[in-house]
């Protein structure tokens, strides 16, 4: 029996995962913890691509037109560059633990990383390298959630895994409401109808159109990335009506 039901996955990491709760910047202790989990998951024979956010450093959406002196589009490009900083930190952490990696960016910066080319990215994954995708899609007004969905579809991944600091998708914010209820399974349509904060609406639409399953789970619990890749039951699974149970 294979150690994982998946051949290739995209792991979406928010920038907040690089810092302790409630803090900004980069904590290498947090980055190494994620790297250790990712390497154990890759050891199962799964090809892993990582799409990374930059919210621990800067969010492009925080710049609204006419209020900061910075155009909103410029703010989004600044946010993309923040993801590259995170990507470099993650790459060094992974390689310090013995992993082979590649950092690819949607914005060309040859002295720092490889440009994203789909066929090249697939080849890296096939060779067992952990590939980190930074700079989103290279275009403003597009979230890293949407970038993760697009990469998962472009690279023929089996599932999109979104790592969060809570156990999955709830009917309310579990960090504010202790009585919030965790959903174990949802359909794409239920996510839309309930306006649940799984991923942004464009990312959900991409996954729904191509029937790409999503798993939302808590990466802070040690071993959960490996459990997710093994196909163990955890977090919240979002899929088509045929596969998901009614909540």
Summarised one tens digit per residue, pLDDT across range 93-150 is: 999 999 999 999 999 999 999 999 999 999 999 999 999 999 999 999 999 999 999 9
Query: Against a cut of 0.95, is the pTM above it?
Result: no
Query: Contact, 11 vs 94, CB < 8 A?
Result: no
Strands 185-187 and 236-239, sheet pairing: parallel
CATH class of the 8-239 domain in this structure: alpha beta
pLDDT in tens, 96-112: 999 999 999 999 999 99
pLDDT of the residue at 2: 58
| Token pair in block for residue 99 | 């992993």
Q: Where are the alpha helices (DSSP H) in the chain?
A: 28-42, 72-96, 118-126, 144-154, 188-193, 201-210, 224-230
Residue 245, pLDDT > 50, answer: no
| β-bridge pairing 130-134 and 101-105 | parallel
CA 152 to chain centroid, in Å, comes to 10
Q: Other C-beta atoms within 10 Å of 97: how many?
A: 13
Q: Delimit the domains of the chain by residue range.
A: 8-239
Alpha-carbon distance of 77 to 72, in angstroms, equals 9
> How much is the average pLDDT of 42-67?
84
| 190: Cα separation from own chain's centroid | 21
Model pLDDT, residue 70: 87
Token pair, residue 181, equals 């209820």
Burial 49-63 (b: 16+ CB within 10 A, else e): bbbbbbbbbbbbeeb
> Is pLDDT above 60 for 230?
yes
């Amino acid at each position: 029996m294979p150690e994982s039901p998946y051949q290739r996955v995209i792991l979406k990491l928010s920038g907040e995962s690089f810092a302790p709760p409630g803090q900004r910047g980069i904590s290498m202790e947090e980055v190494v913890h994620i790297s250790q989990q990712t390497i154990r998951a890759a050891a199962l024979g799964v090809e892993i691509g990582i799409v990374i956010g930059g919210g621990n450093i800067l969010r492009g959406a925080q710049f609204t037109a006419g209020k900061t002196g910075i155009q909103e589009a410029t703010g989004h490009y600044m946010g993309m560059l923040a993801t590259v900083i995170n990507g470099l930190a993650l790459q060094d952490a992974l390689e310090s633990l013995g992993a082979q990696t590649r950092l690819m960016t949607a914005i060309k910066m040859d002295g720092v990383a490889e440009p994203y080319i789909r066929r090249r990215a697939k080849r890296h994954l096939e060779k067992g390298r952990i590939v980190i995708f930074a700079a989103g899609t290279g275009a403003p007004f597009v979230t890293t959630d949407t970038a993760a969905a697009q990469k998962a579809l472009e690279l023929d991944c089996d599932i999109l895994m979104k790592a969060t600091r809570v156990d999955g998708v709830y009917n309310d914010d579990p960090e504010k409401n202790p009585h919030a209820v965790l959903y174990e399974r949802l359909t794409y349509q239920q996510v839309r109808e309930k306006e649940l904060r799984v991923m942004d609406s464009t990312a959900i639409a991409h996954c729904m159109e191509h029937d790409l399953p999503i798993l939302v789970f808590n990466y802070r619990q040690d071993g959960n990335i490996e459990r997710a890749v093994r196909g163990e039951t955890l977090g919240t699974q979002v899929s088509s009506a045929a596969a998901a149970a009614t909540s």
